[in-house]
Amino acid sequence: MSDKHALPATLTYDPVTDRPQEECGVFAVYGSEDAGVLTALGLHALQHRGQEACGIATHDGSRFHVERYLGLVGENFTSADMPQRLPGNVAIGHVRYSTQGASVLRNVQPLYSDVRGGGIALAHNGHITNARVLREELVSNGAIFQSTSDSEVVLHLAALSRKSKLTNRLSHALKQIEGAFAFVVLVNDRLIAARDPHGIRPLVMGQLGDAVVFASETTALDMVGATYTRDVEPGEAIILSDGEMRSERFSPARAARPCAFEFIYFARPDSNIGGRSVYEARKEMGRQLAREMPVDVDVIIPVPDSGVPAALGYSEASGIPFELGIIRSHFVGRTFIQPNQDRRDMSVRLKHSANAAAVRGKRVLLIDDSIVRGTTSLKIVRLMREAGATEVHFRSACPPIKFPDFYGIDMAGQKELIAANMDVEQMAAKLEADSLAFLTVDGMYQAITGGPRNDRAPQLSDHYFTGEYPTRLMDHDRSLSAKEFQLSLLVDA
């Protein structure tokens, strides 16, 4: 009999811990009286890039207006008085997946600061890899930080720059930072959009009537009805001022090397990156996987929703039927109480349930876009067996993930990456799969870029699989060589 006085076990749904988390999306409009309203719509289309917080800043010709909230765009930027609350012809916006806990509103973007000559509002997707080094130096010189966000160093560098023009001060700041970034910045009524020297994070430009629009993904251009013009180039800053557009470089010209994971998981399938359809790339990764790693099964079953395009591609190339063998609930049940008498792990069922009609008595191939820690994968393999699958095979539509990211993706640490700690055979045993295989690195390149990896100048940021990082990692190297330095003495509520 159960002990009524013991705290009941709880049953937590945990996909968050088993899936990399994109940290941000940005959007901006220059030259439309609807700038604030359009930015809300654009951010809604980028909501998959960050659901914990959102913010919009506008400039009305004389003053800034900033609103920042925890929660979704659709919960916070839909009231009828938005045009009055966020007036102006220029706007920037941000969605964020906060890694520092839900309550830290002070880290929500756009960040804002009064500076000599006016004000700067800034939204950032990515990660500055020398932010801690810069911050330590700034604090030591008397700077006061309002957040623990790496993005704030840009504000300080611009504030401290002795250049006379404010836009020049921002360019001055951009030259001092390293890493991956897509910035949209309001400098009074001027808009600056800038992308990191390697083009790791995506940033596209579009046209909407007379207005210019910037977004992390093309799907946000589609949402507001803008037409895609071009990608912002690596190391390029595009400045809109007094109705004129000009382009500046703050680093040498270089081919973009976009993050492979945008293609694999983060970007919406209806977006294009560097002109390549994300949906097509994913299907092709599935087709390539079928060619590289065939298996004799009765049905192809995607791990929903992210495994669906690759599974369609695999089915197409292999001729094996595609079935919805797993039903995903859209009602999130973060934590339920685990029944006392139940000895199974029920947590997977809160989100996924087996469709026995498609599974029972079949040899099943599960396709997922990637395997990070493998914890959910194991639960899904077991779910298939409980539903009557006679064999359960597993394929990952990307290569084994062996190295962490330092460019704004909150993936597990290296110790938790299953592929960093086991070979494929061990992983198959761990996942209790009858077979396990991964797409090869060259297969991935083939699917995304149409050719093999150029090892001297790789076309993608593929450090997850190769360990080759496109930039120096100054903060990281520092904390490995010395003891970890603390970002702030403040423990926030």
Q: Of 87-116, which residues contact its own copies (CB under 8 A)?
A: 105-106, 112-116
Q: Which of 345, 425, 468, 492 binds its own copies (CB under 8 A)?
A: 492
Closest distance to its own copies from the beta carbon of 68 (Å): 8
- 390 interacts with its own copies by CB under 8 A: no
- 270 interacts with its own copies by CB under 8 A: yes
171 annotated binding-site participant: no
Nearer residue to its own copies within complex by CB, 236 or 323:
323
Q: Which of 252, 275, 319, 331 binds its own copies (CB under 8 A)?
A: 331
Closest distance to its own copies from the beta carbon of 118 (Å): 6
Subset of residues 152 to 171 that bind its own copies, contact rule: CB under 8 A: 152, 155-156, 159-161
- 267 interacts with its own copies by CB under 8 A: no
Instruction: Give the angle 120-121-123 at the CA atoms, nearest 5°.
Output: 135
Closest distance to its own copies from the beta carbon of 299 (Å): 12
Closest distance to its own copies from the beta carbon of 387 (Å): 8
The interaxial angle of helices 131-140 and 474-481, nearest 10 deg, is 80
Closest CA to 301 of 394, 385, 431: 394
Q: Is the peptide bond before 305 cis (omega within 30 degrees of 0)?
A: yes
Length of the chain (residues): 493
Are the C-beta atoms of 325 and 358 separated by less than 8 Å?
yes
Judging by DSSP bridges, how do beta strands 435-438 and 391-396 pair with one another?
A: parallel
Closest CA to 49 of 244, 327, 278: 278
Subset of residues 45 to 64 that bind its own copies, contact rule: CB under 8 A: 45, 47-48, 51, 62-64
306 annotated binding-site participant: yes
- Three-state SS for 157? helix
Structure-token pair, residue 225? 């009805």
Helix (H) / strand (E) containing 123: strand 118-128
Nearer residue to its own copies within complex by CB, 342 or 468:
342
Write down the H helix ranges in 319-467: 356-359, 375-386, 418-421, 424-430, 441-449, 463-466
Nearer residue to its own copies within complex by CB, 74 or 467:
74
Judging by DSSP bridges, how do beta strands 299-302 and 363-368 pair with one another?
A: parallel
Active-site position among 24, 54, 259, 398 = 24
The amino acid at 93: G
Closest distance to its own copies from the beta carbon of 331 (Å): 4
The 345-364 site mask, x for binding its own copies (CB under 8 A), equals -x--xx--xxxxxx------
- 312 interacts with its own copies by CB under 8 A: yes
Subset of residues 169 to 198 that bind its own copies, contact rule: CB under 8 A: 188
- 140 interacts with its own copies by CB under 8 A: yes
Subset of residues 368 to 387 that bind its own copies, contact rule: CB under 8 A: none
Nearer residue to its own copies within complex by CB, 59 or 195:
59
54 is catalytic: no
Region label for 31, one of left (φ > 0), alpha (ψ between -120 and 50) or beta (otherwise): left
- 67 interacts with its own copies by CB under 8 A: yes
Quick one: CA dihedral 108, 114, 119, 125, positive or negative? negative
Number of residues that bind its own copies (CB under 8 A): 111
Closest distance to its own copies from the beta carbon of 139 (Å): 6
Subset of residues 202 to 261 that bind its own copies, contact rule: CB under 8 A: 209, 219, 222-225
| Cα–Cα separations (whole angstroms), residue 213 to 27, 217, 439 | 7, 11, 36
Closest CA to 76 of 26, 39, 40, 105: 40
368 annotated binding-site participant: yes
Q: Which of 101, 333, 450, 467 binds its own copies (CB under 8 A)?
A: 333
Judging by DSSP bridges, how do beta strands 335-337 and 53-59 pair with one another?
A: unpaired
Look-up of token digits 């695999």: 314
- 77 interacts with its own copies by CB under 8 A: yes
- 448 interacts with its own copies by CB under 8 A: no
Closest distance to its own copies from the beta carbon of 159 (Å): 4
Nearer residue to its own copies within complex by CB, 330 or 415:
330
Instruction: Give the angle 334-337-339 at the CA atoms, nearest 5°.
Output: 135
Piece of 29-37, 259-267, 392-400, 477-485 that binds its own copies (CB under 8 A): 29-37
Q: Which of 18, 248, 280, 292 binds its own copies (CB under 8 A)?
A: 280
Spatial neighbors of 371 by CB under 8 A, at least 6 apart, are: 377, 394, 396, 400, 401, 418, 419, 427, 431, 438
Would you name the residues annotated as active-site residues? Answer: 24
Residue numbers belonging to the annotated binding site for Mg(2+)? 306, 368-369
